Structure 1
């Protein structure tokens, strides 16, 4: 049997996707540590408060994921101080066992990263001053441990110019497969020198029957994109929003070694079965 570190830390890389994470309260320290403990790479969606603190939060307001009071729940994060955000519980809505979790500030997580060179972190850009982010990265020397992700090539390029050591990932939505394929083709035909990874979203094809390729984006297109990226020295990452063993096995058989998943623990169990 292949050893754990050979499978998950060297062969297969996976991101614990936050916005749809079904196992932990998203964008919390609990979720970050959970991914690291499982051998994966946590993701943090990043925004900036009015007093300049970069925090982990997907939405523009605290309404969905915290117990912010009615008077504050619809206020933009960019108009709130970090002290205000810290007053609200970011775990209780997910489950009572997570009561007390708070919206994390990125500097705290960077401190931990700086002490553990083997750990990595995805930063999914929402609304942050990139120069402030670059300054914070430089302060803790964690550039090589970071993957900056966004769906705008321009923002990835801007981050790469500010901190060349940071890896950049362009994610491309797959809800409309023709749009995904057109966007990906345009990137491959253009200048991709400021990118390190391209992520394709794999959304279920509702008409697919058991035993068939599960996703809307054709399997042949995924395989061809993998080959083209490898020729350019880039990596392909896929985000299968739903998966069974067979689906992950197919992707692994194609040679894909980078994933984003909403169910980290279950994904790790599938990997274990594949490599047994």
Structure 2
């Protein structure tokens, strides 16, 4: 088994509708997938829901902002038909549903999708839910927002956190240290051998996203054996690293 672990991006999102239970089940069915990345926001009534966009329009048959809709409305939407007829009726899952399905099967990289004060209390809601499921050690919580990462550590410093970094400028190593983060989530095009070496020597894990071509996966593996490869196509990861 390669050290460059396969992370299913929003589940097996290359073939199933992203961030749905169908995509998660397809990822779980591949024995070499041990991690999954997903996105969490809050409904109007403060239920943590698993969806990437701030609006419902792209991945469901609904319209409007996630934060303006109650969970009962969101859960009735079709989140699968846009990907194909066979996924018609697939739903937007709650974080609780995803945690229940993934428990003992997948570790989770959960991005808190928020900007500024868009979702007051999201950190407490998410950490409480994860703790209630006994899954704190199976989760890394990530965000672009430094204040979110600080709040998580204030709530419970035992949670592992990761900074999402997508800039050509700045010093991610320094920011990670300041924020007590143990993971850097970074676009694969922004990652270079020097940064990979510096961070891994500091004990920081690196997750590179979103990598869907075998040649790019191999380039990252050559860069460092511990880089986690986040992909919409775990099947391509398998073809690249497991087939002789």
TM range, smaller chain = 0.7 to 0.9
Instruction: Could you tell me which runs of 5 or more consecutive residues in structure 1 were left unpaired when the two chains were aligned.
Output: 1-5, 174-178, 204-216
* Counterpart among 108, 125, 128 of residue 112 in structure 2: 125
TM-score for the superposition, normalised by structure 1: 0.77
**C-alpha separation between the residues in 2 aligned to 1:23 and 1:112?**
19
Alpha-carbon separation, structure 2, partners of 1:20 and 1:31? 5
3-state SS of the aligned residue for 2:24?
helix
Relative CO higher for 1 or 2, CA cutoff 8 Å, sep ≥ 6?
A: 2
> Which residue number corresponds to residue 187 of structure 2?
201
Deviations 1:11-60 (A, max 9, x none): 23222223993222011011112222223222221111111211111112
Deviation at 1:103, TM superposition (A): 0.3
Following TM superposition, the consecutive aligned residue runs of length 4 or more in structure 1 with deviations greater than 4 angstroms are none
- Name the CA shift for 1:153/1:23 in 2 (closer, same or farther; >3 Å): same
Decide which structure has the larger Cα Rg and report it: 1
Question: What does the per-residue CA deviation read over 1:199-235, in whole Å, with 9 as the maximum and x for residues that have no partner?
Answer: 22134xxxxxxxxxxxxx4xxx711112211221111
Distance in 1 (alpha carbons) for counterparts of 2:225 and 2:88: 37
Match in the other structure for 1:142:
135
In 1, Cα distance between equivalents of 2:145 and 2:138:
21
**Counterpart of 1:16?**
8
Deviates more, 1:232-241 or 1:52-61: 232-241
Judge conservation of contact 2:207–2:230 (CA < 8 Å) in 1. yes
C-alpha displacement of 1:243:
2.4
Matched, 1:81 2:48: no
Offset at residue 150 of structure 1 (A): 1.4
Determine if the alignment matches structure 1 residue 161 to structure 2 residue 154.
yes
Q: Which runs of 5+ in 2 are unaligned?
A: none
Contact 2:11 2:27 in 1 (8 A): no
Aligned counterparts of 2:69 and 2:210: Cα–Cα separation in 1 = 35
Other-structure match for 2:86: 97
